[in-house]
Amino acid sequence: MESTRKSLIAGIEESLPRMSKGQKAIAAFILSDYDQAAYLTAASIGDTVGVSESTVVRFAMEMGFEGFPHFQKALKEELKVKMTAVQRLHASGRLAGSEDILGSVLLADADRLRRASDSVDRGRFRQAVDIILAARRIFIVGVRSSAPLASFMDFYFKYIFDDVRLLNPTGASDMLEQIMPASQGDVVIGISFPRYSKRTIDAMKYSRGAGAAVIAITDKDGTPVSQVADCLLLAPSDMMSFVDSLTAPMSVITALIVALGLRQKDHVSQNLEKLEHLWDEYDVYDKGGAG
């Protein structure tokens, strides 16, 4: 069974005095070059530090994992939070040798979508839909790389609901000032992926303390984001160089919009009919025609 240790790096550091000479060499490499170690095979790490592949596998098991793949997965998860943008860029060197970067990224995203389909709790998803439908006001919080996800949700939610507020992160105090009206009967949807935004977490904490329901859309349980949520929707988000892949989170949000739209079908239909007339009147969209 995988280790439940909160910090894998800290666990390695604490175990150093009890390690053999070969294990200490592996630990030293991981601690100094963890952004590389997370993407090397057990054999490659062994060649780098001068030990056998089996010694690397035993090292992973001594750290509380079933095998090296489980250890490596945990290391990658920890690095998503700890790595700087520069370290992420250097870690993407593994893609540089690919003759088809486009294909590599698309296939990786397809795998994330499959994992999201397998892992998203349908009961939680239905719970989120019910909470949002029952809310008086909807506040959406998402900053930095999560800002496009929040903006996308806000754009379509306004077709469905009358009072939707996207928090505009123009400053730390502004964020809290904008969330201040949230109270019982409202819902706050916080969207955050590694590295987790403290401003988003603070807004969620404040809202929950004020009595609002809080929904989190994030990558995994047990994080500061998930711990302040009443309802949790999970979607995998992995590093692709210095870029975070948000394909799976976008799909989960799209599914949420579709589910809510179907539950509010008559209201959405009326809004869209009014908008279509408005768009036609002001010639908003290109209708095509002869050139």
CATH for 8-96, among 3.30.2130.10, 2.40.30.60, 1.10.10.10, 3.40.50.300? Answer: 1.10.10.10
pLDDT over 50 at 243, yes or no = yes
Residue 5, pLDDT above cutoff 50: no
The answer to whether 121 touches 231, Cβ cutoff 8 Å, is no
Query: pLDDT confidence of 239, banded at 50, 70, 90?
Result: low
Do 112-281 and 8-96 fall under one CATH topology? no
Chain mean position to CA 245: 9
CA distances from 165 to 133, 135, 182, 212 (A): 15, 13, 10, 14
Task: Name the average pLDDT for the chain.
Answer: 84
**Amino acid identity, residue 279?**
W
Lowest-confidence region among 83-87, 246-250, 273-277? 83-87
Could you report the per-residue pLDDT of 94-127, keeping only the tens digit for each?
Answer: 555 567 778 878 888 888 898 889 888 999 999 9
User: Phi then psi for 215, rounded to 5 degrees?
Assistant: -110, 130
Q: 3-state class of 229 per DSSP? A: coil
pLDDT category at 188 given cuts 50, 70, 90 is: very high
Structure confidence at residue 291 (pLDDT): 44
Strand partners, 261: none
Residue given tokens 């053999």 in the structure block: 20
* Side-chain half-sphere exposure of 155, counting CA atoms within 13 A: 8
Is the pLDDT score of 155 beyond 80? yes
How far apart are the C-alpha atoms of 191 and 60, rounded to whole Å?
33
- Reported as a single tens digit per residue, the pLDDT across 160-170 is 999 999 998 76
Q: Residue 3: its pLDDT value, please?
A: 38
Identify how many contiguous H helices and E strands the chain contains and give both numbers: 15, 7
What does the pLDDT average to over 4-27? 81
Chain CA centroid to CA 58, Å: 31
Residue 138 reports pLDDT greater than 70: yes
Mean pLDDT of 66-95: 66
Tokens representing residue 181 in the block: 């009206």
Sequence ranges of the domains in the chain: 8-96, 112-281
pTM of full prediction above 0.85: no
Q: Homologous superfamily of 112-281 in CATH?
A: Glucose-6-phosphate isomerase like protein; domain 1 (3.40.50.10490)
- SS3 state of residue 187: strand
Whether residue 128 contacts residue 154, with contact meaning beta carbons closer than 8 Å, is answered with no
| Coil vs helix vs strand at 24 | helix
Amino acid identity at 155: F
Residue 283's φ and ψ, nearest 5 degrees, are 50, 55
> CB-based burial of residue 154 (10 Å sphere; 0-12 exposed, 13-18 middle, 19+ buried)?
middle
Quick one: tokens of 187? 């819902």
Average pLDDT of the segment spanning 142-166: 94
pLDDT top residue among 256 and 100: 256
